[in-house]
Amino acid sequence: MMHDMIVLGAGPAGTACAIAAAQRGSRVLILSHSSKVPRPGESLHPGVEPILNQLGIDLTLRKPHFRRYHGICVSWGPPPTFMPFGHDTSGAWRGWQIPGVELDRILLERAARLGVEIIDDMRLVCILRHNERVVGVRTDCGEFFAHFTVDATGRKRWLVRQLGLIEQQASPFLLAKFGYVHGDASLALEEPWLIAEPTGWCWIARVGENKYHWMRLLFSKEQGKELGIPASLSSFASAEKARYADVTWRITLPSAGLGYFLIGDAAWVLDPSSSHGVLKALLSGIRAAEDAQKILLFPSQGKEICQAFTQDSQRWFESDKAAMIAAYQRHPFPPKWVLALNEARQT
């Protein structure tokens, strides 16, 4: 069977793309290697909520124990400051604290209800090409063909490696370590905290009745031995083994071409303090679905549509990177590489 789209990966980017494509009448297949491993960053900006609603998902109807929060407490040099998200006529805006695996499940269920075919627990072998165009993939379950193949494999960047695309690194190697602890719910952490440290920064968020999520990032890999549970949580019991993530700033270009799109972290990565990870994943997935449909309707415009997709991805990356550089310049202990990046940007 020929599909309109094959999506590689079942995280927020991939499932959003599959849902948006299915909403537009496309035949979609998700190929995923089953993995329930937690990923860094489980705090959703309020801007995510209307995007999920667009995809047919209302989190307010989901599990009531998902925590809400009104803003972020920031200790980025004295004094500590609470930064609310804002408000409108309906009231204060609130974000969500949702485990990544739970968000993935909600999105995947929505895709299945729309008729998206899902094959889990399989291994990708290689891409399939015809006249330089990506036409599908070979897996250990067989070959699958589609008009478009979408790389939503995150930091694995499977299609990126298969195509030999150019990856531009925009920072030194950056490592984040994250985990969970159980402790006294009376700890005054109703809102997430972002705390500057001499070696980087620390994030702490309450994600359950007695459960806290923490993450630390180091500005230099030589400081790796200093990564551990934050001091304020050191007396708590670890809920599971802590994990590491490579969050080096990077972008792959072009992010769209003959028969393919790159979305989410497969397209570009900034470290989690940018706070746009899930929002970027959802929006890039929806945009890929929209552009794929445009190309199917107007094949002669395919080149221009792919170029626009790449240009917009690059603009978003550069905009967020500039904001990150500005934020790190205000850090009490700004790393030398950030100062160098800022000088290069101004020249």
CA 268 to each of CA 9, 167, 306, 310, 320: distance values in angstroms, whole numbers, following the listed order = 16, 9, 16, 11, 11
Q: Give the pLDDT confidence score for residue 36 in this predicted structure.
A: 58
Q: Rounded to whole angstroms, how far apart are CA atoms 236 and 322?
A: 37
DSSP states along 212-281: EEEEEEESSGGGGGG-SS-GGGTTSEESS--EEEE---EEEE-SEETTEEE-GGGTEE--GGG--HHHHH
- pLDDT of 341 reads 83
The CA-atom distances, in angstroms, between 103 and each of 12, 44, 73, 99, 125 are 8, 10, 24, 6, 28
Q: How far apart are the C-alpha atoms of 47 and 53, rounded to whole Å?
A: 11
For every residue of 3-41, which 3-state class applies, written as one string?
Answer: EEEEEECCCHHHHHHHHHHHHCCCCEEEECCCCCCCCCC
**Is the separation of the CB atoms in 27 and 171 below 8 Å?**
no
Is residue 281 within 8 A of residue 270, CB to CB? The reply is: no
Residue 278 · residue 51 · CB < 8 Å: no
Q: What is the pLDDT of residue 34?
A: 62
pLDDT score recorded for residue 208: 76
Q: Which pLDDT tens digit goes with each residue over 1-15?
A: 799 999 999 999 999
The predicted structure's pLDDT at residue 35: 56
Q: Side chain identity at 143, as an amino acid letter?
A: E
d(CA 181, CA 192) in angstroms, rounded, equals 15
R_g over Cα of the chain? 20
- Model confidence over 52-108: pLDDT tens digits? 999 999 887 666 567 888 999 999 988 899 999 998 888 889 888 888 888 899 999
C-alpha span between 165 and 34 (Å, rounded): 25
The residues, any chain, with a CB within 8 Å of residue 130's CB and separated by 6 or more, are none
Burial class (CB in 10 A: 0-12, 13-18, 19+), 59: middle
Q: Are strands 2-8 and 87-88 parallel, antiparallel or unpaired?
A: unpaired
Report yes or no: 161 and 12 within 8 Å, Cβ to Cβ: no
Domains of the chain, first to last: 2-171+247-329 (3.50.50.60)
Q: Which residues of the chain have pLDDT under 50?
A: none
How many contiguous H segments (helices) and E segments (strands) does the chain have? 7, 24
Looking up tokens 């929006």, which residue turns up? 283
Residue among 246, 205, 200 nearest 223 (CA)? 200
Q: DSSP string covering 295-313, please? A: HHH-GGGHHHHHHHHHHHH
